[in-house]
Structure 1
Amino acid sequence: MSSERYTSMFPPSAERPKSQMHWMTELQSLLVILKITLPLSVWICLGAIFQAILLLLPLSSIIKYWRFYATLPAVLFILAKSLNTVLISCNIIKNPYLPHQSLWNKRVTALVPDKAGNFPNIDEPPNKNKVAVLILGATVNHPGGYLTAPHADKFVELSDRMFNELDVLPQEETGFLGQSTLYQHNPSGTVDSYLISYWRSIESIHNYAVSPAHTDAVNWWNRESKNNGLKHIGIMHEIFEAPAGMWETVYLNFEPTMMGATSYLKKADEKGVVGGTVADMWVSPVVDASRGKLRSSRGRLGWDARRDGRE
């Protein structure tokens, strides 16, 4: 058996990376909340109000052709966005939307290292370690959404406490690997938010369920629900565990996301040395899948010729 292991495409980090849901700044997070909470009609009305204010200002004695200047902000915004699109499309300026340069035109996959942070050997099944997935969903069935709905602020506060805690508790104890957030508009016009997290096992998920942060959130929910104070807030969860050999991932021209955005503690070896540094390190699960058995779905599943029926 070969001793060569798969290696991450990204260098290890001495500090634990934040989960993907925490990659945005507070301002960016606020803008996302505003964007998903306020429908397009509200943004159009806000723009119309701003335009009306400019037109009503008594500027005729100060600025000649003031009505033209009142429409200038909207015109300049449209021109700037259009010009930026043209320049990027013509490869005149760099495309800021592209993923990390090392991922351009590159097929990659995410492998789950073992509890010591070691990737499988190249002649072992790539997905030799199991993984559990927890999907948490929340929705606010209220015209004010997360911004003004009753109890929504407390709900977000308790949720954030749990999510933030998972990023700092020792991974060896929790089995928590990382989490990402998705949003979708449902037919009623409200927005559902989903947090998808990855764990070592279903047992790890249930062990965290008795943590102080989660217990406080559950007690608050049960207390407020008795008074029908949370009838406009919906929550859900789904749990899955994929045993070894029954999961695989692939990403092409994609920033590390979902399982690809998790991180793993790589314990120092017997000599206490990892990459020349005497310390534990955090590694990314993203490895090159552009060649070899990782290029195909069957190969990433670790299915050999006998299972394929192609002996």
Structure 2
Amino acid sequence: MADRLTHAHEGDLAVFLIGMTINRPWRPDHWMPTFAAMPAMVRELYESKSSAERGEQDWLGFLGARTLIGSRGPTLVQYWRSAEDIYAYAGAEARAHRPAWLEFYRTARRHEGSVGVWHETYSVRADGHESVYYGTGPIGLGAVTGLVPVRRRGGTARERLGSRVRAEASGTS
């Protein structure tokens, strides 16, 4: 029988969804530059995370990501230490995001309506996230932070959501 598992992350986190909509699929010359820019940014984030784990640089706060492909375009689900870390990375002139962002707006103005980008940022307190994984390999937050037995945090979603708060309040964390 498969084990019921939950993510190993402790504490607050931020979930960042970013995607593009391909509004004119017959014009890849308009949307392909936007599509092609994302892998360089994700590669930079993973390389920076690895460098930080080796003690070679400060950690940007990026935990990991997953790419989803939908009918109108891709979506990346990213996990971060905090929303502030996301904003610091996005605005850093020495990082891949800022130049790509500026180029997107220049291109989008020339080809109005061909491609869109969107993002959503969720700042999640330690008592505001829970997960369960059964009969699956690591995915989502469990893939980027590791997995632990569900019994460590509670058997139900409600128990897992409140377990961190109860443990901190009782001094057992």
Query: CA offsets, 1:132-174, max 9 Å, x none?
Result: 0000011212243xxx612333222221111111100145421
SS at structure 2 position matched to 1:248: coil
| Number of residue pairs matched by the alignment | 157
Q: Which runs of 4+ in 1 moved over 6 A?
A: none
Answering whether residue 85 of structure 2 is matched by residue 224 of structure 1, we say no
Which of 76, 81, 101 is residue 195 of structure 1 equivalent to?
A: 76
8 Å Cα contact 2:108/2:115 also seen in 1: no
The 3 A distance-change label for structure 1 pair 293 and 164 is: closer
Could you tell me how far 1:208 is from its partner in structure 2? 0.5
8 Å Cα contact 1:175/1:199 also seen in 2: yes
The 3 A distance-change label for structure 1 pair 210 and 137 is: same
The answer to which of 198-207 and 163-172 deviates more is: 163-172
Which letter does structure 2 place at the counterpart of 1:296?
A: T
Could you tell me how far 1:244 is from its partner in structure 2? 1.6
Which letter does structure 2 place at the counterpart of 1:195?
A: L
- Separation (CA, whole Å) in 1 of partners of 2:44 and 2:80: 15
8 Å Cα contact 1:166/1:176 also seen in 2: yes
Answering whether residue 146 of structure 2 is matched by residue 249 of structure 1, we say no
After TM superposition, the score normalised by the length of structure 1 is 0.47
Structure whose residues are more often strand by fraction = 2
Could you tell me how far 1:182 is from its partner in structure 2? 1.4
Structure 2, gaps ≥5 residues long: 53-57
- Separation (CA, whole Å) in 2 of partners of 1:252 and 1:231: 42
- Separation (CA, whole Å) in 1 of partners of 2:69 and 2:42: 17
Could you tell me how far 1:293 is from its partner in structure 2? 4.2
After TM superposition, the score normalised by the length of structure 2 is 0.80
Counterpart of 2:60 in structure 1 is: 174
After the TM superposition, which residues 160-309 of structure 1 pair with which residues of structure 2 at under 5 Å, given as runs?
Answer: 160-170=39-49, 171=52, 172-185=58-71, 191-211=72-92, 212-227=95-110, 229-263=111-145, 285-289=146-150, 291=151, 293-301=153-161, 302=163, 304=166
Could you tell me how far 1:292 is from its partner in structure 2? 5.3
Quote the sequence identity (%): 29
Could you tell me how far 1:222 is from its partner in structure 2? 2.0
SS at structure 2 position matched to 1:231: coil
Which letter does structure 2 place at the counterpart of 1:233?
A: V
Query: CA offsets, 1:39-78, max 9 Å, x none?
Result: xxxxxxxxxxxxxxxxxxxxxxxxxxxxxxxxxxxxxxxx
Larger Rg: 1
Could you tell me how far 1:196 is from its partner in structure 2? 0.3
- Separation (CA, whole Å) in 1 of partners of 2:109 and 2:70: 29
Aligned-residue CA RMSD in angstroms? Answer: 2.2
Which letter does structure 2 place at the counterpart of 1:107?
A: R
- Separation (CA, whole Å) in 2 of partners of 1:286 and 1:179: 16
Answering whether residue 132 of structure 2 is matched by residue 132 of structure 1, we say no
